[in-house]
Amino acid sequence: MSDTQHIPGAENPEKFTGLQLGSIKKTAAGLPAVVEAFKQVAGEAGLVRGLKALAHMNKKDGFDCPSCAWPDPDDDRSPFGEYCENGAKAIAEEATLKKLTADFFAENAVQDLAALTDYEIGRKGRIAQPVFLPAGGTHYQPITWDEAFNKIGRALNSLSSPDEAIFYTSGRTSNEAAFLYQLFVRAYGTNNLPDCSNMCHESSGVALGESLGIGKGSVKLEDFYEAEVIIILGQNPGTNHPRMLTALQKAKAKGARIIAVNPLPETGLMGFNNPQQVKGLLGMDSHLTDIFLPVKINGDMALLKAIEYLLWQHEQAQPGQVFDRPFIENNTLDFDAFINDLQQQNIEQLAQACGISIAQLTEVATLLKDKTRIIACWAMGLTQHVNAVDTIKEVVNLLLLKGSIGKPGAGTCPVRGHSNVQGDRTMGIYEKPGKLFLDTIAANFSFQPPQHPGYDVVEAIKAMHGGRASVFIAMGGNFLSATPDTNYTANALRKCTLTVHVSTKLNRSHLVHGQEALILPCLGRSDKDLLNGEEQFVSCENSMGVIQWSKGVLPPVSEQLLSEPVIVCRLAKATLGSRSPIDWDKYLQHYDHIRDDIERTIPGFGEYNKRVRQPGGFYLPNCNREGSFNTASKKAHFNIGHHTPIHMSADELLMMTIRSHDQFNTTIYGLNDRYRGIYKERRVILMNQQDMNSRDLKSGDVVDIYNHHGGVERVAHKFIVVPYPIPEQCMATYFPETNVLVPVNSVAKKSNTPVSKAVVVRVKKVSISS
């Protein structure tokens, strides 16, 4: 099969769904959000089941919202429930009563299901029993759990090296399941543990680790309420972390000023009606952003440099008044080299490169110069670029100049995506484990784990494509649709002898498969988990390092679902058999035994079983928060980075692939992007009016989008042009429809994260016969 063969369905549309354009909303949330939330939940799960789920979400005795990783307040949680519109949609998706049994799979050929869009596939329902696709088969068919595990065990044991198997993890997996999974994979003999983090905040982890000695953010939620300035770069919290707006609103009421750096005027950044407050329900909004900087895509490095340059000028005029000299002296390295380099910068060029006027940059510098408590938040707008690691280090540079790390109201805040993506990494889901971690595994479990690094996501795709790996196992997620270069990745998966997915819902990765394929249905966050007649709970780590328990409350849609920890134990037993150094049966008795072993293996989990049962859980240690830096030098490092322009010809555009308001990654809840005023259609391309004019395009025209990275032609067909306030030569489309265009070989330096926010493309008008 050639790499240019199109994946049927979302990537090769046969029809449009009826685009309607409205105005860009001025404020996020409020009553429409509440109405939308209830509509979704009641529609999928029924009113009683839906309300029960909502009532227990993010409560201290309930379950962790399966949507984003934004933390819950340590105190005063809302009596109505601590959720948002998009958390409610995530629950509607999981708590749905629609289920896929053997009949469904008998009636629907894989090929026919693959021709549906992601939205249509997701609507089908929860997978209700394990199913198997034999070699050459056209339909998935029922299989028992024992047969399924034995089949995988046999496939894994027949490989000539354990490194020929790949074990992917998505970020919903609990600490307990993640810990067992990595233990199994290492006992089997490989570090091939790619995860969604490789495509997400890997750049943040690398940058923070190298600059500050810990790959996690330093702030707590309370810090927001003591901050003087909060800078939000490359993040759309109104859609992706809606509960963050509540924190911003409160911060603002306490006097914080907010600066937003984003190519788009994202609604949530501009204004907010808090649906948990009567005032908000009545539509009395909080204005959030004080200074909005509509940066060009990937202009952040130049923008940060420009602000630092202007601050340095203030510092020269008032020595010691602008930079925190004692902090810099005591805690940092390479300040002089950094300043020497900064002096060489040219402010006009920097302003030009980021697309922000010197007047606006000066306004920012004037605001920042007297402030000492600054928080910087960021997400995918910074991490998914070639120079992402250096840009995030530049954010750190700015904070270091101001002494804004390791004190109340200040610090780093990479806002995580999946609800337990941070916890999975803490548990050892990592393809490049440290020596200390491996030594502890060896000592605690009496086996020698593999020492050589495994494949990350991009390397895993290439290994499958090149025949160096042939069994692919995924603990959650939607590998095919989430990864870059969809056609290339599809062929990589097709070359496997076996692909296995532990999943809650049907998705495209089940339909573009290896020679043989298995879908293993598991419990979700909201499902009640009974083991030997006793209710179990799991635990998760949020974006600010708090470990909390999560206990599902809903009766599972089918008796044939197993929990992720149970699936891992049974898979490990079937694969490792008598050669297993680990007593898996112990974990199958009670999850407390898993937590006991986490406690003896991973630092910071002392008295895990006791402390996780305390209401609100506990904080993991964080050196930055405590004012120290765990680098080799024990100092924070200034980094010298430079703006590196992306060379484009006049007819090229820089494309960012972003999330609509109606999706969770590859799960499409609906076809609207309410805040951006786009309805009933996802195949849109948001373009600057000037760029449309110069290409003779008008609103509603249809284009094909091309990328030619590395001499390979990639094309995404049929996108409707929508004029939008976005800087010139920049444009936006939705992920995952345009992942076909993201080159597998275009990755961030050091973090190897696919560059999904800066894809160089051309558009070509196509005529559509009606």
Which amino acid is located at 60 in the chain? K
**Binder to Mo ion among 189, 215, 414, 417 (CB under 5 A)?**
417
Minimum distance, C-beta of residue 349 to Mo ion, in the bound complex (Å): 33
108-116, 340-348, 367-375, 654-662 -> range binding ligand MGD (CB under 6 A)? 654-662
Among Mo ion, ligand MGD, none, residue 658 binds (CB under 5-8 Å by kind): ligand MGD
Answer whether 423's CB lies under 8 Å from 175's CB.
yes
199 Cβ neighbours under 8 A, 6+ residues apart: 384, 457, 482, 483, 753, 754, 756
Closer CB to Mo ion, 200 or 229, in the complex = 200
Backbone angles phi, psi at 230, to 5 degrees: -120, 120
Tell me how crowded residue 2 is: count the other CB atoms within 10 A of its CB: 6
Q: Is 524 in the site for ligand MGD (CB under 6 A)?
A: yes
Among ligand MGD, Mo ion, none, residue 735 binds (CB under 5-8 Å by kind): ligand MGD
- The DSSP letter of residue 398 is H
Closer CB to ligand MGD, 261 or 463, in the complex = 261
- Tell me the three-class secondary structure of 534-554, residue by residue: EECCEEEECCCCEEEEECCCE
Q: Is 415 in the site for Mo ion (CB under 5 A)?
A: no
Tell me how crowded residue 59 is: count the other CB atoms within 10 A of its CB: 18
Q: Is 659 in the site for ligand MGD (CB under 6 A)?
A: yes
Strands 271-273 and 286-287: antiparallel
63-71, 199-207, 314-322, 486-494 -> range binding Mo ion (CB under 5 A)? 199-207
Among Mo ion, ligand MGD, none, residue 739 binds (CB under 5-8 Å by kind): ligand MGD
- Sign of the torsion formed by the C-alpha atoms of 114, 117, 118 and 121: negative
List C-alpha distances in Å: 469 to 192, 496, 756. Answer: 10, 7, 25
Q: Is 200 in the site for Mo ion (CB under 5 A)?
A: yes
Minimum distance, C-beta of residue 95 to ligand MGD, in the bound complex (Å): 12
283-291, 317-325, 414-422, 630-638 -> range binding Mo ion (CB under 5 A)? 414-422
Answer whether 308's CB lies under 8 Å from 344's CB.
no
Q: Is 477 in the site for ligand MGD (CB under 6 A)?
A: yes
168-176, 530-538, 549-557, 681-689 -> range binding ligand MGD (CB under 6 A)? 168-176
Among ligand MGD, Mo ion, none, residue 402 binds (CB under 5-8 Å by kind): none
* Nearest residue to Mo ion, scored by beta-carbon proximity: 417
- The DSSP letter of residue 756 is -
Among ligand MGD, Mo ion, none, residue 637 binds (CB under 5-8 Å by kind): none
3-state secondary structure of 374: strand
Strands 702-707 and 759-766: antiparallel
Cα separation, 335 vs 322, whole angstroms? 15
**Binder to ligand MGD among 27, 40, 129, 170 (CB under 6 A)?**
170
Q: Is 387 in the site for ligand MGD (CB under 6 A)?
A: no
Where b means 16+ CB within 10 Å and e means fewer, 725-753 reads: ebbebbbbbbbbbbbbbbbbebbbeebbb
Footprint of ligand MGD on 481-510 (CB under 6 A): 482, 502-505, 507
Footprint of ligand MGD on 28-57 (CB under 6 A): none
Among Mo ion, ligand MGD, none, residue 190 binds (CB under 5-8 Å by kind): none
Q: Is 733 in the site for ligand MGD (CB under 6 A)?
A: no
3-state secondary structure of 597: helix
369-377, 413-421, 435-443, 654-662 -> range binding Mo ion (CB under 5 A)? 413-421
Minimum distance, C-beta of residue 411 to ligand MGD, in the bound complex (Å): 19
Minimum distance, C-beta of residue 219 to ligand MGD, in the bound complex (Å): 17
- On the question of a cis peptide bond just before residue 66, with omega within 30 degrees of 0, the verdict is no
**Binder to ligand MGD among 140, 719, 724, 735 (CB under 6 A)?**
735
Closer CB to Mo ion, 275 or 417, in the complex = 417
In the chain, what is the greatest distance between 2 CA atoms, to the nearest angstrom?
Answer: 76
Tell me how crowded residue 148 is: count the other CB atoms within 10 A of its CB: 21
**Binder to ligand MGD among 129, 204, 236, 536 (CB under 6 A)?**
236
Among Mo ion, ligand MGD, none, residue 666 binds (CB under 5-8 Å by kind): ligand MGD
Q: Is 420 in the site for ligand MGD (CB under 6 A)?
A: no
Q: Is 172 in the site for ligand MGD (CB under 6 A)?
A: yes
Two tokens, residue 398: 């700015």
Cα separation, 711 vs 491, whole angstroms? 18
Tell me how many helices (H) and strands (E) the chain has. 31, 33
Q: Is 722 in the site for ligand MGD (CB under 6 A)?
A: no
Backbone angles phi, psi at 653, to 5 degrees: -130, 155
Answer whether 122's CB lies under 8 Å from 506's CB.
yes
Q: Which residues of the chain form contacts with Mo ion (CB under 5 A)?
A: 200, 417
Q: Which residues of the chain form contacts with ligand MGD (CB under 6 A)?
A: 67-68, 86, 170-172, 196, 199-200, 233-236, 239-241, 261-264, 266, 295, 297-298, 300, 379-381, 384, 417-418, 475-479, 482, 502-505, 507, 522, 524-525, 564, 656-659, 663-667, 735, 739, 742, 756-757
